[in-house]
Structure 1
Amino acid sequence: MAVSLLDRAIYSYTDVDRLVGLHSGTARRWLEGYVRSGRFYEPVLRPEPTGTDVVTWGEMVEARLLAEFRSRQVPVQRLRPAIVRLREEFGRHPLARARPFLDVEGRELVRVVQEEVGLERPLQLVVVRNDQLVLVDTAERFRDAVEYEDDVVGRLRPDARTPSVLMDPLRAFGQPAVRNVRTESLAEEFRAGTSREELADLYDLTPGQVDDALRFELIAGSARAA
């Protein structure tokens, strides 16, 4: 189940940019690599370019984690050597698996990999605090945003500000939804004149869930326009 879930191809590059708040074209660069000043930069999240226009659930989840680092001073491209090593230890999509974040052995292995590749502090996933190996704040936010299923991420919250909104590769075609109702559909009906109270009654949702759905679409729309 783990392999088929993470390898479920259901998104476009545009989806990834919009749903995790990236600038247009970022997801393609992370997944397919890019050329700058005549030099080719390898993909961060794939072993090599695939030429495909679809993105898997595992790649979406890993992009969600990398998005936590997008405001840091060090380019996420520098994470590639660490991800390559973690892939060797944990298998495909190592950042979408539970062990690096949940158990002591996983965190210790991540620490060793970070030291091996000389990963800069702003991009590290684990650090030692008070003699304990803990997740850095960015990794903690990611862990709080996901739910694990059979040791891999089965659901994720695309934005912490809208906790009712979830993405699940097995429901609503993997799109953001509240209780299986796509946020995009709720926003379209709201723009057409249906009140939040009517939407809550129609889809058996709470007003708070409807508000989260509408808020998420505003956030995602702003990211797309940026």
Structure 2
Amino acid sequence: MIDAMTTSMLDRAIYSYSDVDRLVGLHGGTARRWLDGYTRAGKFYEPILREASTGAEVVTWGEMVEARLLAEFRSRDVTVQKLRPAIEQLRERFGRYPLALAQPFLEVEGRELVQIVQEQVGLDRSLQLVVVRNGQSMLTAATERFSDAVQYVDGAAGSIRPDPRTPFVVMDPARTFGQPAVRNVRTEILAGDYKAGSSRDELADLYDLTLDQVDEALRFELIVGSDRAA
């Protein structure tokens, strides 16, 4: 059961679409298409991660987390738009942010329900969230990478490590406005200070961090910068 406080946290609107693109490693404009739909060749495509287009310019924590999962499938041959029917059904069963909850991934009954939904909508195998192995519903590699990055609190995503290469860097909606941080220091602040001339040792001393933590913060900003430029 998800309590009211957890639901409120998932509903916290703290990001822009460009934040999501940058932090999840998407091409510019992708988050807006996933969350608010888009028109192509005169046809409107409904959003994947919202029930309907809202025109809102802000993104909630729950939507950011769900976009992080979809990003695991973005390089596949099959468009993630084909996930929409499955997500719609999962939303009916689990609530507004089904991909930001622990139940569909960490509980046996939840994984089995996901498997049923996938079969009902005929979801392409390359987009499946769970698979059956030896008679048991198991997470696919993409979903497992996502789940491993999430710290669940009271059944929902409470924080997330945005990149597996920098495990010290965490996004938490209750701290630093959900921006990537090492402890409570935003990575972009550390990177800005470093570019301004502060040494790694000075940053570690100033912010009471280890050199490893400083290095990971700097590395993360390089990663998101290169992903955005790609």
TM-score range, shorter chain: over 0.9
Partner of 1:141: 145
Secondary structure of the 2:151 match is strand
Q: Which moved more, 1:191-200 or 1:10-19?
A: 191-200
Query: How much does 1:130 deviate?
Result: 2.2
Q: Alignment partner for residue 178 of structure 1, among 179, 182, 186?
A: 182
Partner of 2:67: 63
Partner of 2:33: 29
CA offsets 1:59-85 (integer angstroms, 9 cap, x no match)? 000000000000111100000000000
Query: How much does 1:198 deviate?
Result: 1.2
Root mean square deviation of aligned Cα: 0.6
Q: Distance in 2 between matches of 1:115 and 1:15?
A: 34
Partner of 2:6: 2
Q: Distance in 2 between matches of 1:51 and 1:169?
A: 22
Partner of 1:218: 222
Q: Distance in 1 between matches of 2:171 and 2:126?
A: 28
CA offsets 1:98-151 (integer angstroms, 9 cap, x no match)? 000101000000000000000000000000112221100000000110001110
Q: Distance in 1 between matches of 2:135 and 2:117?
A: 19
Q: Distance in 1 between matches of 2:94 and 2:132?
A: 22
Partner of 1:154: 158
Q: Distance in 2 between matches of 1:45 and 1:169?
A: 19
In the TM superposition, 1:123-134 aligns within 5 A as 123-134=127-138
Partner of 1:91: 95
Identity of aligned residues (%): 73
Partner of 2:191: 187
Q: Distance in 2 between matches of 1:49 and 1:201?
A: 47
Letter in 2 for 1:156: I
Query: How much does 1:2 deviate?
Result: 1.5
Q: TM-score, normalised by structure 1?
A: 0.99
Alignment coverage as a number of residue pairs? 226
Q: Which moved more, 1:135-144 or 1:196-205?
A: 196-205
Secondary structure of the 2:70 match is helix
Q: TM-score, normalised by structure 2?
A: 0.97
Q: Distance in 1 between matches of 2:9 and 2:204?
A: 31
Q: Distance in 2 between matches of 1:105 and 1:6?
A: 23
Partner of 1:40: 44
Q: Distance in 1 between matches of 2:62 and 2:99?
A: 8
Q: Distance in 2 between matches of 1:101 and 1:208?
A: 32
Q: Distance in 1 between matches of 2:136 and 2:81?
A: 28
Q: Distance in 2 between matches of 1:164 and 1:197?
A: 17
Q: Distance in 2 between matches of 1:162 and 1:145?
A: 11
Q: Distance in 2 between matches of 1:187 and 1:82?
A: 40
Q: Alignment partner for residue 23 of structure 2, among 4, 19, 23?
A: 19
Q: Distance in 1 between matches of 2:204 and 2:135?
A: 49
Letter in 2 for 1:103: E
Secondary structure of the 2:114 match is helix
